[in-house]
Structure 1
Amino acid sequence: MNIHLHSYNFNYILYLRDNKIIRRFHNMTRQECINNLTDIFLQLKESKDYSKAKERLIGEIKVDRLSNYLLHKYEKLDEEEVEVLHLLLDTVDLIYNNSSEEEIMTDEVYDKLFNLYLNNNGEYSVGASTLESDTATHNYPDLRGTIKKVHFICNDDKENNENRKSLEDYENSWKRTLDSISYNKIKYIMSIKWDGLSGNIECDKFGSVLHVYPRGLVSANETIDKVYKFYDYSLNGHKINGYDILGIPRKSFDKPFCIKVEFLCSEDSLKILNDEYSCGFKNRRSAVSGILNSDNTNPELINYLTIMPLRYQLFNDKDINMVYISEYPYPVVNISNRNKILSNIKKLKECAEESGFSADGVVLTIDDKSIQDKLGRDDDKGINKYEVAYKFPPEVGTSRIIDVDFTMGTMGIITPVAKIEPIILKGNTIKSINLGSIDRYRGLNICRNDEVKIKYDVIPYLYKDNTCESGWEKIEVPVTCKFCGETLLENPTLMCVNTECPSRQKGKILNYINKMNILNISEAIVDELFNERILLTIPDLYTLDRYRNKILCLDGWGPNRFKLIWESINSKRDVYDYELLGSLGIQSVGRTMFKRIITKVSLKKILNCLEVGKKNKLYDKIIEVDGIQNKTANKVVNGLFNMKETLYRLMVFLNVKVYEQMDIKGYICFTNIRDKDLEETMNSQGYEISNSVSKKTSMLVIPDEFKGGSSKLDKAKNLNIPIYEISEVRKMFNK
């Protein structure tokens, strides 16, 4: 007997089966939800495929419905629910902090979930999780970490069942720690809370930059050195220098120092990045994350970021010093003066909006060193207990529905995207809004010309209330795929399950672009050209010039943008046979595998087998390659036959070179720096590039003047492996 008990309207279901209650999240048991979230998280760490992870969160996990259930559960979360929430936050963090993907949920929802987790005794590492295994350690751990957030000034401002903190909550906790005299003399220094990517810049006593550490895992005191990204960075026309960042005279200190900064992108820079470099960044925050975290970023793009100094600390000195920038106000106000606090928040918000940079709140820091010392710091969580950040409430505007596009993702999942009359919020012009899932779309009951509310925090969020005027024509959910005509399946995600559907080609196109290292073509550009039916297969990349006039008519396109993309495509027409085969998108079979295969089975032999349809003959040749088992051989053969038309067409556009195996001269590993051109030269001269250090490693390549630490560097030293700066290595290989 199955009894379905629907709780609230979030499809949280109890099943009674054989007298045993099994709790379920919508279409899966809670253990299945934990297993699926764990699988998404681990695959993301291994593959760095943010787009796929995002689609799985929306499609499989139904993240909006799951979030709603967790936030509206009346009783305390049980252990399984807390584990689900932790995994969800971990995965969202990885995507948010390591990619330029559009955010999965608003900051408001994320903050509510985070506070819910803490309120249910969750232990959480403050900081951005990193996907890289080669970690370094902070030399200035007091500068690492984050700030506690408040979303209200007074408790009276809260709605019922609100779990987020107010400034009043924190002030009450200070009262319990401080005597009345100390408490009453508290004054706040108020400053703008910039919304970019935080990090630390370590310098020697002359101001030369040694390390650039984006925010990392605080509990482990780990981070990744990104100093190599800033080799060509120009600050006021000069090479980056710590004293210039701080705005103080050169040689002001007699010891090394570290600056806590926020990496920002202005609205003007975002426009240039998207218009001239075809980056396709959704907002200023995603531009910063994409440029700092992507391995394939054009090095020129780093100069479109701005470094905003916040604090600095001298080496072996416990004092944290605030940085005052002349362009911005830093008002001081007594803790009891609520009206002045509110007026200063308004003033700082206006100042931030005029700056062109993104800001999401105001930091309130107690301006008394003795009180700071009494309140202290939580070193495990990287939080100073003497300061809080007030988050600006989301900006809300009104618009109308023009239409809804049902866009197809790389796995065939369909996502509704509302097209609205343009509206400007927080300086951003919003024309389209991702509605998340078909479930949520149906709940909105959208019609053309509907009046809708747009809430803008980090991403726009569309909703309707009882003040919104109704439209005139309901927009129905499609029942067939617009690309192949097959009936769509909804279980519970709406998707095309036809594996031969042209829409599945989008994932293969993105994979090919990434494997071939074709710069300046983002997923957003592929989406746009795919939906315009200009770029439907991999070979279509090489015919974009035929559609130049049509592309130039699209919103946001211009001659320079098209020229940049076309030049990037043409720069990768010379390719080795194994590189071509390993870029086709055959599941679990990449370039390394095809390099082994091609030394035994030439491309000419592969093409002959494909041409005459001799699957068994090709299988017999592949299975003879050392290390290839039955399962892999079948994947290779079936994959090649499925992609043979694509391969034939690509051969027309590319200059395919025959790879001749050399004796492997050695294994080379890089740490804290990569150079794809140098790596290709090494490969051509018989060296293999490895991702880890072992006894077989011939050398470890480090940045010039590298004085930081990393796990690879430590292991290389222990194994007595030669360590070279990259400039030396370039000379060795004539680069």
Structure 2
Amino acid sequence: MSDQAKARIDELRALLHKWNHEYHVLDKPSVSDFEYDQAMQELIQLEKQNPDYLAEDSPSHRVGGVALDVFEKVEHDTPMLSLGNAFNEEDLRDFDRRVRQGVGEQVAYICELKIDGLAVSLKYEDGLFVRGATRGDGTIGEDITQNLKTIRSIPLRLTKPVSLEVRGEAYMPKRSFEALNEVRYQAEEEPFANPRNAAAGSLRQLDPKLAAKRNLDIFVYGIGNGLNTGVISHSEGLNLLDELGFKTNNERKRCNGIDEVIEFVNGWHEKRPTLGYEIDGIVIKVDSLEQQDELGFTAKSPRWAIAYKFPAEEVVTRLIDIDLNVGRTGVITPTAILEPVRVAGTVVKRASLHNEDLIREKDIKLGDYVVVKKAGDIIPEVVNVLLERRTGDEKEFAMPSHCPECDSELVRIEGEVALRCINPMCPAQIREGLIHFVSRDAMNIEGLGERVISQLFKEKLIHDVADIYRLTKEQLVELERMGEKSATNLIQAIQASKTNSLEKLLFGLGIRHVGAKAAKTLAQQFETIDSLKQASVEELTAINEIGDKMADSVYTYFRSEEVQKLINELKELGVNTTYQGPKKVNVEEIDSYFAGKTIVLTGKLEILTRNEAKEKIELLGGKVSGSVSKNTDLLIAGEAAGSKLDQAKKHGVEIWDEEKLVLELNG
């Protein structure tokens, strides 16, 4: 490559980085869109002609890279914990009281807008963006680096060569959301329910070019892990993020005391609709990092932060009709059909009415004017009826005596409020059961969502869950909006699901009263589905977490001839029916240093991953906690161990390095 070409590429990259920061972070563009686009096209052309000079931080990556087959799982350097919630002034004052009891009366808080989007982590090494991931379960997320590179407010190279991991909220601005849904309406596709779902759906596109078209943005709100930053407060950390080139939210305030916090919160109740993006509350954090360390964490959330959630917005609309839905367990759920109305940022046309008793309790009639809100700003529900607006033309609603799907007689089981269809061959129940089987917490078959399942069921290509594993690529490509590549990916995802551990299968089968946690407990206890099938009610109820009702349900389920036939078919099709996770252990029977002890892992481990260390410790009877407390028995300190190491020393906790841990684990 000529020196002239190299110099021009370097010049274009520097200009585009500068213009991008001015436009998307500072909101102060210095060039026209045309001039920016011309420079970008010239850079792309030069990089094609000189492939040896490609660079990971090139602005050309923002247009979207090569499509992926699947997202890789990645472990966060430090866990991304959720926050506790406050819903009123009393909750905020209780939070303040707990904080002051922990660190004394001199406390300052930092208040930030709670952006309604998708939490992500961004990792930088020597100033270069190397990895971006979803929050996932807080410990393990999905690598969405290429999609995040399409967000133009994320710097690909920082202003200083520092190494750190930061946290942010990726979101879809209101104007982008409305434009995206308009495109989906025109294409006769289901619109996104809200900007949060749209942002999450965009960042989980396997093709980054599609993500690039969605015009997402981000606000970075904190440093997850960074060495020698020199900051002593959260507000200083935000200022440092600004200096490094990140986009933070300027609508923040440092408050001296809870009264100032409450004043800030109340002010945003009114100003919320004026923003160009959705917020669903205010995050309040103790500003001092030293005080944060002193307060520490619970198992799920930091003690030094809380999320105030705005009360749900309530609006009035008219109830046109009541639709009936049959769930996978046969429960008949009435749904209100409403005159479309905008609630909390999205247009609502339907709202759950739960059951017949609720309709009677609220005296709901067809044609009524009703108050609607979104519970938790997510699920629309009818709050009450405006009786004063009745005209006399409203009509009573009566639940049917027969199933709207299969016409079988409905029953009300003693002790339950719901009407239920008990016909096991009811097509609605079968379809909903199939949708549940492929869902994320069950068999997690990527690409096999509700729309595709409904198509397959309608075309009579699947009748039960075993049929999913008989599908062929040739059958799939015949479906509407299913190309050859999508069909290939779907077949691969179906095949991959065969290796899932037993708990995924048990949850997917939809055994009544058995949720994801109970499914794992049963899988750990019995290890194979054949052992579980033969378990008596007495053996089931002997397990701590399994009650009488669940035990009866499991026992009855596996006595069914249809179920036994289905299990045999799944085995023949190659679906795994054994438990593959860590075995449940009896601490009293284990001769191990870790048995009965509480252990905390901190810092970067070199020999084991954090998950591997956790599993090995638990197999030896130990409990792994996310925070240091007076009950902590041992801290494992990896490289760059931070505040947890200081807390352990303060509490007099025994401290090991990773080498000592590995020696003890290997016995």
| TM-score of the two chains, using structure 1 as the length reference | 0.47
Aligned partners of 1:175 and 1:640: how far apart in 2?
57
Aligned partners of 2:378 and 2:255: how far apart in 1?
29
Q: CA deviation at 1:459?
A: 1.7
Q: Per the alignment, in what secondary structure is the counterpart of residue 473 of structure 1? A: coil
Aligned to 1:234: 149
Q: Per the alignment, in what secondary structure is the counterpart of residue 262 of structure 1? A: strand
Which of 105, 123, 145 is matched with 1:202 structurally?
123
Aligned partners of 1:366 and 1:501: how far apart in 2?
55
Aligned to 1:151: 87
Aligned to 1:425: 343
- Structure 2 residue 171 is the aligned partner of structure 1 residue 264: yes
Q: CA deviation at 1:433?
A: 0.8
Aligned to 1:349: 272
Which of 203, 215, 224 is matched with 2:140 structurally?
224
Aligned partners of 2:489 and 2:385: how far apart in 1?
52
Question: Is the 2:410–2:419 contact (alpha carbons within 8 Å) kept by the matching residues of 1?
Answer: yes
Aligned to 1:452: 370
Within 5 Å, give how 1:495-510 maps onto structure 2. Answer: 495-507=420-432, 510=435
Q: CA deviation at 1:194?
A: 1.5
- CA RMSD in angstroms, aligned pairs only: 5.7
Aligned to 1:469: 389
Aligned partners of 1:573 and 1:169: how far apart in 2?
50
Which residue identity is paired with 1:403?
A: D
Q: CA deviation at 1:478?
A: 1.1
Question: Is the 1:692–1:712 contact (alpha carbons within 8 Å) kept by the matching residues of 2?
Answer: no
Question: Is the 2:194–2:345 contact (alpha carbons within 8 Å) kept by the matching residues of 1?
Answer: no
Q: CA deviation at 1:257?
A: 0.4
Within 5 Å, give how 1:317-356 maps onto structure 2. Answer: 319=232, 320=234, 321-322=237-238, 323=241, 325=247, 328-332=250-254, 334-335=256-257, 336-337=259-260, 341=264, 344-346=267-269, 349-352=272-275, 354-355=276-277
Q: CA deviation at 1:258?
A: 1.0
- Structure 2 residue 405 is the aligned partner of structure 1 residue 488: no
Which of 309, 315, 322 is matched with 2:220 structurally?
309
Aligned partners of 2:303 and 2:443: how far apart in 1?
48
Higher RCO (Cα < 8 Å, 6 or more apart): 1
Q: CA deviation at 1:232?
A: 4.8
Aligned partners of 2:388 and 2:453: how far apart in 1?
35
Q: CA deviation at 1:176?
A: 5.4
Q: CA deviation at 1:359?
A: 1.6
User: Residues 273, 500 of structure 1: CA spacing in aligned structure 2 closer, same or farther, 3 A cutoff?
Assistant: farther
Cα deviations by residue, 1:621-642 (Å, 9 ceiling, x for unpaired): xxxxxx9x99999769955999
Q: CA deviation at 1:512?
A: 9.1
Which of 443, 446, 462 is matched with 1:538 structurally?
462
User: Residues 500, 248 of structure 1: CA spacing in aligned structure 2 closer, same or farther, 3 A cutoff?
Assistant: closer
User: Residues 423, 211 of structure 1: CA spacing in aligned structure 2 closer, same or farther, 3 A cutoff?
Assistant: closer
Which residue identity is paired with 1:709?
A: T
Which residue identity is paired with 1:426?
A: A
Aligned to 2:329: 411
Aligned partners of 1:517 and 1:435: how far apart in 2?
29
- Structure 2 residue 77 is the aligned partner of structure 1 residue 139: yes
Aligned partners of 2:302 and 2:567: how far apart in 1?
57
Q: Per the alignment, in what secondary structure is the counterpart of residue 422 of structure 1? A: strand
Aligned to 1:191: 112
Q: Per the alignment, in what secondary structure is the counterpart of residue 538 of structure 1? A: coil
Question: Is the 1:449–1:472 contact (alpha carbons within 8 Å) kept by the matching residues of 2?
Answer: yes
User: Residues 383, 635 of structure 1: CA spacing in aligned structure 2 closer, same or farther, 3 A cutoff?
Assistant: closer
Which residue identity is paired with 1:449?
A: G
Aligned partners of 2:343 and 2:93: how far apart in 1?
29
Which residue identity is paired with 2:449?
A: S
Cα deviations by residue, 1:490-533 (Å, 9 ceiling, x for unpaired): 21332221122232341465489889999766326766x79xx9
- Structure 2 residue 282 is the aligned partner of structure 1 residue 359: no
Aligned to 1:68: none
Q: Per the alignment, in what secondary structure is the counterpart of residue 464 of structure 1? A: strand
Aligned partners of 2:347 and 2:294: how far apart in 1?
43
Cα deviations by residue, 1:374-397 (Å, 9 ceiling, x for unpaired): 883323446555544322111001
Aligned to 2:194: 283
Q: Per the alignment, in what secondary structure is the counterpart of residue 349 of structure 1? A: helix
User: Where does structure 1 lack aligned partners over 5 or more consecutive residues?
Assistant: 1-133, 154-164, 218-222, 238-243, 541-561, 590-626, 644-658, 662-682, 684-689, 695-705, 717-735
Cα deviations by residue, 1:195-244 (Å, 9 ceiling, x for unpaired): 33434333322323246251546xxxxx11412x334543346xxxxxx6
Give the length in aligned residue pairs.
434
Aligned to 1:168: 93
User: Residues 521, 140 of structure 1: CA spacing in aligned structure 2 closer, same or farther, 3 A cutoff?
Assistant: closer
Within 5 Å, give how 1:553-632 maps onto structure 2. Answer: 564-565=481-482
Aligned to 2:57: none
Aligned partners of 2:219 and 2:320: how far apart in 1?
39
Aligned partners of 1:152 and 1:640: how far apart in 2?
50
User: Residues 311, 708 of structure 1: CA spacing in aligned structure 2 closer, same or farther, 3 A cutoff?
Assistant: farther
Aligned partners of 1:408 and 1:257: how far apart in 2?
50
Cα deviations by residue, 1:657-694 (Å, 9 ceiling, x for unpaired): xx9x9xxxxxxxxxxxxxxxxxxxxx9xxxxxx97799
User: Residues 692, 179 of structure 1: CA spacing in aligned structure 2 closer, same or farther, 3 A cutoff?
Assistant: closer
User: Residues 272, 226 of structure 1: CA spacing in aligned structure 2 closer, same or farther, 3 A cutoff?
Assistant: farther
User: Residues 567, 452 of structure 1: CA spacing in aligned structure 2 closer, same or farther, 3 A cutoff?
Assistant: farther
Within 5 Å, give how 1:22-37 maps onto structure 2. Answer: none
Which of 449, 452, 457 is matched with 1:522 structurally?
449
Aligned partners of 1:571 and 1:374: how far apart in 2?
49
Question: Is the 1:210–1:708 contact (alpha carbons within 8 Å) kept by the matching residues of 2?
Answer: no
Q: CA deviation at 1:421?
A: 0.9
Question: Is the 1:406–1:417 contact (alpha carbons within 8 Å) kept by the matching residues of 2?
Answer: yes
Aligned partners of 1:196 and 1:338: how far apart in 2?
23
User: Residues 516, 202 of structure 1: CA spacing in aligned structure 2 closer, same or farther, 3 A cutoff?
Assistant: closer
Q: Per the alignment, in what secondary structure is the counterpart of residue 481 of structure 2? A: helix
Cα deviations by residue, 1:12-39 (Å, 9 ceiling, x for unpaired): xxxxxxxxxxxxxxxxxxxxxxxxxxxx
Aligned partners of 1:516 and 1:150: how far apart in 2?
35
Which of 593, 609, 634 is matched with 1:709 structurally?
609
Question: Is the 1:520–1:565 contact (alpha carbons within 8 Å) kept by the matching residues of 2?
Answer: no
Aligned partners of 1:526 and 1:468: how far apart in 2?
45
Within 5 Å, give how 1:33-48 maps onto structure 2. Answer: none
User: Residues 408, 189 of structure 1: CA spacing in aligned structure 2 closer, same or farther, 3 A cutoff?
Assistant: same
Question: Is the 2:337–2:350 contact (alpha carbons within 8 Å) kept by the matching residues of 1?
Answer: yes
Which residue identity is paired with 1:523?
A: E
Aligned partners of 1:260 and 1:273: how far apart in 2?
31
Which residue identity is paired with 1:145?
A: L
